[in-house]
Structure 1
Amino acid sequence: MKALYLNVCPNCGRGEEDQRLLKGLPCPVCFPYEVEPCSLPEKLQKLRKHCHFREKVKEFERFFEERFGSKPWNLQVYWAKRLILGRSFSILAPTGIGKTTFGAVAALFLGGRTYIMLPTSILVVQVERLLKRLGARNVVAYHADLSSREKKEAKERIAKGDFKILVATSMFLSKNFSLLEGKTFDFIFVDDVDSLLKKAKNVDKVLMLLGFTREEIDEALKAVEKPGQPVKVKRKRRGLLVVSSATAKPKTKRVKLFRYLLGFEVGMPIGGIRNVEDVAVFPAEENVVEAAVSLVKRFGGGALVFIPSDMGREKIGEVVEALRKAGVEAESYEKLDEKLIEKFTKGEIQALVGISSAKNPLARGLDLPQTIRYAVFAGVPKNRILLDFSSMTIPQCFAVMIAVKAFLEPNQANRYLWELKRYLTVDPEKNEKARLLLEEVRRFLAEALMKPEVLKRIEESPNLWLDRTPEGFALLIADAAGYLQASGRTSRLFAGGISRGASFLVVDNVKAFNDLKRRLSWFLDEAEFKPVEKVDLNRLFEEIDRDRRKIGELRAGRITEEEKSLVKPIMVVVESPNKARTIAGFFGRPARRKVGNLTVYEVNAENLVINIVATGGHIFDLTVGRGFHGVEVNEYVVPIFETIKKCVKCGEQFTGEPTCPRCKSEEFLDKLSVVEALRELAKEVEEVVLATDPDTEGEKIAYDVASMLKAFNDRIVRAEFHEVTRRAFTEALKATRNLDIHLVEGQTVRRVADRWVGFELSQHLWKIFGSRRLSAGRVQTPVLGWVIERTEEAKKKQGLLTVQADGFKVKLTIPDAEKAKELYETLEKVRVEGGEEWVETVNPPPPLSTDALIREASRIFGFDANLTMQLAQDLFESGVITYHRTDSIRVSTAGMSVAHRYMAENGMEELYKPRKWSEAGAHECIRPTRPVDVEQLRLMLYTGALRGRLTGKHLRLYDLIFKRFMASQAQEAEVKKRRFKVKVGDFEEVKEFTVEVLKEGFYRFIPVKVETLPEGEFEVSSKDLKLIPSKPYFTQGSLVEQMKERGIGRPSTYAVTVSRLLEHRYLVERKKFLFPTSLGIKVYSYLSQRFGSLVSEEFTRKLEEVMDRVERGEIDYNEHLLRLHQELKELLEANV
């Protein structure tokens, strides 16, 4: 392939061919020969800065190796790169990487005034020794172990500024800021941001030490309070700030000042990552406590023991005592206690006991990856809520309503849940709206739940436990968040991946256990408890202890050079900002920063530090004004690409123009800024992973990005995933590939053909009709012709006669409209004669492809094609359905597993019958990614297990996709059918009805209408006649269906084609039907007469077939484009 990209030479900014760009070379004007750019400094322009950066990185590596005798970690080099580039940032890194060592080395390497801020005096002493060992001079260290005289001398030196490096605690900053005020630091390294943020004003103090004024900080605070407000900061050199990630959510809003003034946010790398074996223990004769004690006695130290909230805190003492009697050293852990932690770490205490709640310090605040080996739950984590409707709080009402939603009126329950969610943290005593809502919900719940039949259904439920107590009814609700938080203490991120952990759940209540499993499935892709007897416990603990030894070796610095390369920083490029946000959320709370205009999400994932960034769709399009409509045609066809501009005022996207072609505005956003930001990011990382959408458009975007970045990073790979789930994403990162040039060429042929045909035909329309708003295209023109033809056919009418008699209603279709009128006038009686009856096996329909989704959403909901595709895009990016632009109905083994799990978990396993539906293609059908129906999806949204702004329309579309897919994997149905002959006057019609369902099968998901007719002659009680088209008008759905059947267009263009016809006012939509306008008829008439072969269905279909062959590598794309150009030229010359 040959292509020219304008204004992107990494050295001078001229245009450059893709082949040179992909070799990492500047344009031939800058460098006539293919040589390493940095080897010719006299030729350097923009690349001079990049070459200097590369040299500084090598200098850091040499600097590090000279002082330590070994190479730095990959991540330490990554952090150094960001400092060399002048960026402040938050460190997201697993334990044992050497963050503190990096801070010390960076202070020496940068050479300016530095403040290394540490959480404890012990660390201050250690870092001071390290700095002196590395040859640092003029270091002041302030800590608790100094004598009074030494403290006084240290403070005097600090006050005078007589130091190069200050090493002190964050507490020192709080208490002695007056000594530092007025001084500026070139570099501040905060080793424990949690300690810093204990005092909110510490944020201001750090910013002032970096050179920001009080006025600038106050200005930024206004933006924190009112997001969107611009922050004005004087352009001057500031110091650099590096902070470690938070382990708890910062309580102060002031932490957001880092975003507004330094361009980054503090991350919190917890939550989504776990490598825990979940084991279920069903005690036979022992009680729950005895079973828990037996487990701890068997597996030894490093144990956390959790008591369910419903048992009460007094149970903790009982468990501690039982453990001690069994010879296990155990202590209660109800508050942070440093001495207790120290004893536990040393092995003097074998088990810590606390409540299994996300709010409990044992579950929330303990991060000891080398020490904690396993967790034991003495009972299912659960909360007990007394159904006292006069005193229930908003959070209690919310929790109860989530639990019992299946027994409530759905519309009312959904409305209350959305409203309650808004007020979960609001005090109803201080907010009138919250108070009134609480009173209303209490009444609703009291009325709904106290009905005897409802109470009976709750008691019969497999996952709800209703206690009858002297105080009234109490509901036990499983605490999934508490379980995840507590069991997650056993599995932490470290330089070798995610440490192995074990969680033993001693089941005290089977219903609560079922409820817990159900709720965990909302948070985890695969939530499974294995019975203890089916787990190889010896092997499990070998894996657990192996990882603890590795962590210990890492912390002691006993690591090989190979192990230093275990954790790799990469950049993942996707198209959509929503998708970037969803992926980042899989791995905890990401560190967010700005590079140029791009938002970057940084997360930890096993042995990777991932920077996720979105292009916002296509970056390039064909230019205008050069070659043949943006394509040079000689011996080779060379498309000329230029970055896309978007008008700020009207939203028009364009290339090749100095102003907006629609409104003439000079204000526009140029995607060249995206290229520049991606290049800056590419410098930081070891590898760039192009994870754009899994289709030809996504491949072309990936090719564009690779071309732009090769000069800045030569390790660029492609990753492809068809669903936005953590499993699919991590699997894709392990199975990267090279770019598929055939797919890129296929998409280029499509774009060039669209441009040539579209621009040529459009220019003729502008001349004839005098309007530059008109356009034509190789797909939309024949489709317009179909609508015009169908409208003509629809002029022929037929009669739809509706007859009602003796409790039944029947509709008859009469082909002759005049005959229908006659029958209507004379109709008095209707006769029904019963006919043949038979049993029929009915196969389920296949799962949905794009065209079928658009058709069904149009038929059932009246959604237009654009709306359906936008809703599907949102569902895909939220991770709940697979890729929605597909012609395939194939079902993968993963898809079959989703269906099987859902049916098994919901008492329908006998319905399951797996089907592939198709063998061909890498793509899949559109299906759910989890065994979650629409009601469960609602609960996931309410509880925060699924983040995203999904509306009622999204949920309706999801329900359609879910039910259609489940039906496709279910048993056939068996029905009894019967024919009836209906006579009115001298007209008769045979009707066929399903009169009985003998075997439900897939009808469980897509119910069938069961109906019959009485036999005999009946007086007509009412009648109605409508004259309807003999052929129905097109809807958007049926038009897309026609495009698929006739081989025109692709899943990515179906909706776009219809919307363009409507935008250009060639079609109008009335009552969901499509009609041509007079303009549409005139345009089509002109084009079909002048350029009949060019706008014919046959031409477009053959072109689509050629594109498919190019994508498969069967034909040369250049030869095809040359031939297409010649055909167009001859045709256009003949029509001049």
Structure 2
Amino acid sequence: MSKKLVIVESPAKAKTIGKILGHDYLIRASMGHIRDLPERAFGVDIEHGFLPQYEESKSRGRNLSELKSAAREAGEIYLASDPDREGEAIAWHLREVLSKLNKKARFHRVSFHEITRSAIDRAFRNPGDVDMNLVDAQQARRVLDRIVGYQISPLLWTRIERGVSAGRVQSVALRLVCEREREIRAFVPQEYWTFPAEFLPEGGRDSFVAKLQKINEGKCEIGNGTDAAAVIAAIRSAAAWKVAAIDVQPKRRFAPPPFITSTLQQAAGAALGFSASQTMRIAQQLYEGVDIGRGPVGLITYMRTDSVAVAVEAQNACRAFIASKMGQDFIPEKPNVFRSKSSAQGAHEAIRPTDVNLTPESLKAALDPQQFKLYSIIWRRFVASQMAPARQERTSVDVSGRGGDGRTYTFRASATVTKFPGFLRAYNVAEEEVSGDDDEDQRFAAVLALLRQGQACRLVRADSEQKFTEPAPRYSEASLIKELETNGIGRPSTYATIVNTIQVRKYVEKEKGKLIPTDLGFRINDYLVSSLPELFQVGFTADMEQKLDEVEEGKHQWTQMLGEFYDKFHRWLQSAKDEGAPPSEKTAALIREIGRIRNWEKPERVPGKRTFNGERFVRSVKEKYEKDSKISSRQWETLLSLALRYRDQLPDLEETAVRGGFAEDLHAADAKRMEHEAERAEWRHQREEADKAAPPQENIGKIFEAMKQVKWLPPEKRRGREYDDEKFFQSLKHQADSGRPLSEKQLSALGRIFEKYRDQISDPEKLSPILGTAAPVKKELAPDVQNRVRELFRIFDGVTNWAEPVKRGRRVYDDREFVQSIRKQIGQGRTLSPKQIAAMEKLAAKYSS
């Protein structure tokens, strides 16, 4: 009997599927793509229909060899990669490579959106073929991105700095972040005033707070302190107040649809503090399978989707669960059906649990804390999506009175009461709540419900509060993904990568959960937007995404689509290259003048470990000019620099510049050169001064020798960066051993490390003067305080059941982690602050029972 080979992407997925299929199948993992465009070459033959020049992955060499060996022995090969463009492309590449090794084997494409026995059985009973429309859409995206990245990035190297890059979609995401930041910086706050007042109804015991809504019949718009003082004086001098109007409006709040990729990333960011890439990594684990005590089980459906559709079987199972656990009232008469966007992939489902009966609590012991949190919101959102709407009642009350200035002042208080919770019973994440009116205050719902039309009220107090308008908030990862989705940029499989890439490349930094462009990010964005405005327009990028969707649907031939794109792209690229280029007559005059140089200096090393040969450079520029009648702005700048460098051989340079029309360019280049030389001189002077002040470098070896036996603390992460003392120390030692002196900053850092590990160093007092450090004066806690700290730790040592971490606003409070950090601080010999000791006391009281 011939062997049946099943190929998936990952070992985790292989393990879960292997448990379902049993011993009749050999399961292997491809570890992602086995072929791709070359890493260090363009890899696209534009002249021959944009033919991609794929290479087998060198990093997957051993794994690919094992796949090939398995394929040679197989009679049937099932390609079970993920059900999207990337997964289809992986399946196609596998077939292209493996079919050459075993021409007799039959290839099957099996596709499923959840890893469950029923889904796997159904897929293997009805195998299909590779969907070439999906493959072509993936190839088109890959080639598009390669064209833009490889041909735009070199422009950035000459205009910005080497090593930076542009991306067809990532650069548009960067543009959104930069434009929002500039909008914030340009924002001019406008002053305005609000007037909260507390009223006590006649015959009532409880008061309520309302805000000034109208003055006479006009909107309350007070923009300065003088007017605000007059208004508050008039309010306080009013003779009487009464309930002028009561409005009660019933409303229904409908269940949200189950998650798709973008909404899951947004919800996990807002409610759990997860990054987009972190969310997708955890979701991948839940999809591929987690051991819940009976082997690995796929817990959620495929997590890269833009469809809110739900399988009828899952819908019915969910309705049955709701009825049994919550009652018939919580099920709508007809199942809730949600409409996906027109661009959504119809064969896909929303993200949901594979078995609604596997509640989060039933899986808590099997999941790690992050998996539990993400599974919980996926499960709750899905269950809520099939529940009845919440019935609510919104009450608004107006209280009016005639002020001391004769004008009528109307205050309004509002509150919403939930009469029937409906879906809110299952899903009510506060961070995702759509807030109602800003004036709503649920604390006063009961008081407002008892008020009567015309009822007198007593003014208890009235205040005026100065406020200022605020700009639109900076993007978080979640809100940037929402903006990308709204504008039609990116797709479920790319959102996390886009947001992650602009951070990894240091174009954007995350600060307190908000994305802020770096100086490098601004410079790259400004250049791209000014030099290639059409390419990096939000609308153009969205249009390309639509065309890729049309390729996937079979409406557009992928190479034709690339041809249409490249015709425009090539023109835009050439225009960007020509930007700032000199007129032909200037170029000709300068090239003729530089041609008089006879004695060229030897080629020299320049930053970036490249060798610059001036004579060869001039020759290549001359050849380009003779061929194209133009040169680039960068080449022009370099020619001017060379002319100034060799001016002693060019006695007529100034006169030639005037006649050739480039005198102004030459003077600007000379000023730039002099400024650069002044900066270099200042830098050399500072370096010399620092070297004088620095300890003799020959003695630094004693420090390295003394610290050889140090037991290093493990690396730790702070604000997204990893700090590794041992790795940094070894890099300094390697530099010193190779004969390169340490800089002032490096010596200072070495001094800090020395002090941190001082207790492990023998005779540190003799070594301190080498680094200019002294023995630190340790601040000891008072004996009674030390004893109390020891008592507190004894209490914490007895705690076996720590409270779950709690998220308040953007911060997560974790009791266990806090105690561990205090223990670590004491272990490092650092003193506790009074504030830390007070926090420990409070925590000990919480766990003392």
Alignment of 1:24-39 (within 5 A): none
Partner of 2:421: 1000
Distance 1:824 1:582 in 2: 71
Query: In 1, distance between residues paired with 2:131 and 2:74?
Result: 23
1:1005-1063: CA deviation from partner (whole Å, max 9, x where unpaired): 13489654546565459997665624222211111111111100001111111111111
Q: Which of the numbers 485, 500, 519 marks the counterpart of 1:1078?
A: 519
Equivalences for residues 413-432 of structure 1 within 5 A: none
| Contact residue 966 and residue 1005 of structure 1 kept, 8 A | yes
- Residue type matched to 2:372 in 1? L
TM-aligned CA deviation for residue 837 of structure 1: 0.5
Deviation at 1:979, TM superposition (A): 2.5
The size of the alignment, in residue pairs, is 515
Matched, 1:791 2:181: yes
CA contact (8 A) 2:487 2:539 kept: no
| Among candidates 769, 784, 801, match of residue 160 of structure 2 | 769
Task: State TM-score, norm by structure 2.
Answer: 0.56
1:1040 aligned onto 2:481? yes
Do the aligned partners of residues 910 and 759 (structure 1) sit closer, same or farther apart at CA in structure 2, a change above 3 Å counting? same
**Residue 891 (structure 1) aligns with:** 310
The verdict on how the C-alpha distance between 1:710 and 1:808 changes in structure 2, with shifts beyond 3 A counting, is farther
What one-letter code is carried by the residue in structure 2 that aligns with 1:1084?
N
Distance 1:771 1:991 in 2: 60
The SS at the match of 1:756 is helix
Q: Deviations over 1:885-910 (max 9, x none)?
A: 11111111122023123213324344
Q: Which moved more, 1:1003-1012 or 1:739-748?
A: 1003-1012
Which of the residues 348, 353, 372 maps onto 1:928?
353
Displacement after TM superposition at 1:685 (Å): 2.3
Render the CA deviation track for 1:811-861: whole Å, top value 9, x for unaligned: 999998955998599869899976310212222111111111111222222
> Which of these residues, 244, 253, 265, is aligned with residue 854 of structure 1?
265
The 5-angstrom pairing of residues 487-886 of structure 1 reads 569-586=3-20, 603-604=22-23, 609-624=24-39, 626=41, 629-645=42-58, 670-713=59-102, 714-772=105-163, 774-794=164-184, 795-797=187-189, 819=224, 835-878=246-289, 879-886=298-305
SS in 2 for 1:974: strand
- Report what 2:528 is aligned to: 1087
Report SS of the residue matched to 2:54.
Answer: strand
In structure 2, do the counterparts of structure 1 residues 770 and 817 end up closer, same or farther at CA, with 3 Å as the change threshold?
farther
Q: In structure 1, how many angstroms separate the alpha carbons of the residues matched to 2:546 and 2:308?
A: 20
Structure 1 unpaired stretches of 5+: 1-73, 79-568, 588-602, 646-669, 943-949
Counterpart amino acid of residue 356 in structure 2: P
CA offsets, 1:159-211, max 9 Å, x none?
xxxxxxxxxxxxxxxxxxxxxxxxxxxxxxxxxxxxxxxxxxxxxxxxxxxxx
Q: Give, in angstroms, the shift of residue 767 of structure 1.
A: 1.7
Cα distance between partner residues in 2 of 1:824 and 1:705: 76
TM (norm. structure 1) is 0.42
Structure 1 residues 584 and 758 mapped into 2: Cα distance closer, same or farther (>3 Å)? same
Q: Which amino acid aligns with 1:770?
A: E
Q: Post-superposition shift, 1:809?
A: 6.7
Contact residue 1036 and residue 1073 of structure 1 kept, 8 A: yes
Structure 1's 1059 and 821: CA in aligned 2 closer, same or farther, altered over 3 A? farther
Alignment CA distance shift 1:815-1:952 (3 Å) = farther
CA gap of 1:936–1:915, structure 2 versus 1, over 3 A, is same
Alpha-carbon distance change, 1004 to 761 in structure 1, aligned in 2, over 3 angstroms: same
Residues 754-786 of structure 1, C-alpha deviations (whole Å, 9 max, x = no match): 1111222222112222230x2211112222222
Within 2, Cα distance between the matches of 1:817 and 1:903?
A: 51
Q: How does 1:389-428 map to 2 (within 5 A)?
A: none
Which whole-Å CA distance do the structure 2 matches of 1:1067 and 1:765 have between them? 17
Spell out, residue by residue over 1:513-561, the C-alpha distance to the aligned partner (whole angstroms, 9 max, x if none). xxxxxxxxxxxxxxxxxxxxxxxxxxxxxxxxxxxxxxxxxxxxxxxxx
Task: Report 1:215-614 matches (<5 A).
Answer: 569-586=3-20, 603-604=22-23, 609-614=24-29
Corresponding residue SS for 1:906: helix
Encode CA deviations 1:474-506: one digit per residue, 9 max, x unaligned: xxxxxxxxxxxxxxxxxxxxxxxxxxxxxxxxx
AA matched with 1:703? W
Aligned AA (1:611): L
Matched, 1:1131 2:572: yes
Partner AA of 1:960 in structure 2: I
Q: Distance in 1 between matches of 2:525 and 2:207?
A: 50
Greater length-normalized contact order (CA 8 Å, ≥ 6 residues apart) = 2
Tell me, in whole angstroms, the C-alpha distance in 2 between the residues paired with 1:690 and 1:1085. 45
Q: Does 1:918 align with 2:366?
A: no
Q: Is the 8 A contact 1:802 1:809 kept in 2?
A: no
Paired residues of 2:232 and 2:463 also in contact (CA < 8 A):
no
Alignment of 1:17-166 (within 5 A): 74=1, 78=2
Deviations 1:47-94 (A, max 9, x none): xxxxxxxxxxxxxxxxxxxxxxxxxxx1xxx5xxxxxxxxxxxxxxxx
Contact 1:622 1:641 in 2 (8 A): yes
Say if 1:742 and 1:1113, in contact at 8 Å, map to a contact too: yes
Partner of residue 952, structure 1: 369
Letter in 2 for 1:970: M
Q: Please tell me the residue identity of whatever aligns with 1:610.
A: Y
Cα distance, 1:745 vs structure 2: 0.4
The 3 A distance-change label for structure 1 pair 1019 and 1134 is same
Determine the C-alpha separation between the residues in 2 that align with 1:705 and 1:890.
30
Helix, strand or coil: the match of 1:855?
A: helix
Shift of 1:1088: 0.4
The structure-2 alpha-carbon separation of the partners of 1:937 and 1:582, relative to structure 1 and needing over 3 Å to count, comes to farther
Report if aligned partners of 2:153, 2:165 keep a CA contact under 8 Å in 1: yes
Counterpart in the other structure of 1:27: none
1:800·1:812 contact (CA, 8 Å) conserved in 2? no
Contact 2:193 2:224 in 1 (8 A): no
Q: Which runs of 5+ in 2 are unaligned?
A: 199-205, 214-218, 290-297, 436-441, 449-456, 578-849
Whole-angstrom distance in 1 between the partners of 2:172 and 2:193: 31
From the superposition, tell whether residues 685 and 720 of structure 1 become closer, same or farther in structure 2 (CA, over 3 Å).
same
Superposed displacement of residue 724, structure 1: 1.5
- For 1:807 and 1:862, how far apart are their aligned partners in 2? 38
How has the CA–CA distance of structure 1 residues 610 and 933 changed in structure 2, closer, same or farther, with 3 Å as cutoff? closer
C-alpha distance 584-1091 of structure 1, shift in aligned 2 (>3 A): same
Q: Is the 8 A contact 2:322 2:387 kept in 1?
A: no
Label 1:1098 to 1:935 Cα distance change in 2 as closer, same or farther (>3 A). closer
Counterpart Cα distance in 2 of 1:690 and 1:1080: 41
Structure with higher helix content: 2
**1:1042–1:693 distance in 2 versus 1, CA, 3 Å:** same
Aligned partner of residue 730 in structure 1, secondary structure: helix
CA distance in 2, matches of 1:882, 1:811: 48
Cα deviation, residue 585, structure 1: 3.5
